[in-house]
Amino acid sequence: MTAPRPPAGAHPAETGRHAASGEPPTDQRSVGDLVGNVTRDLSILMRQELALAKAELKQEAGKTGKAAGAFGGAGFAAWFVVLFLSLALWAALSNLTDPGWAALIVAALWAVIAGILYATGRSSFRKVHPKPERTVDTLGQVPEALKGHRGDTP
Domain boundaries, the chain: 29-135
What does the alpha-carbon distance between residue 141 and residue 48 come to, in Å, rounded to a whole number?
14
Which helix (H) or strand (E) element contains residue 133? helix 133-147
Which among 114, 50, 121, 125 is positioned nearest to 82, based on CA atoms?
114
* Sign of the four-CA dihedral 67, 73, 79, 84: negative
Average pLDDT score over residue span 112-133 = 87
Distances (CA, A) of 84 to 28, 45, 75, 87, 116: 84, 59, 14, 5, 18
Query: Does the pLDDT of residue 118 top 90, yes or no?
Result: yes
Average pLDDT score over residue span 122-141 = 81
Q: What's the pLDDT at 97?
A: 65
Question: What pLDDT band is residue 93 in, cutting at 50, 70 and 90?
Answer: low
Query: Does the pLDDT of residue 19 top 60, yes or no?
Result: no
DSSP assignment of 78-92:
HHHHHHHHHHHHHHH
pTM comes to 0.36
Query: Does the pLDDT of residue 120 top 90, yes or no?
Result: yes
H helix intervals, 2-132: 12-15, 31-95, 98-126
Average pLDDT for the chain: 77
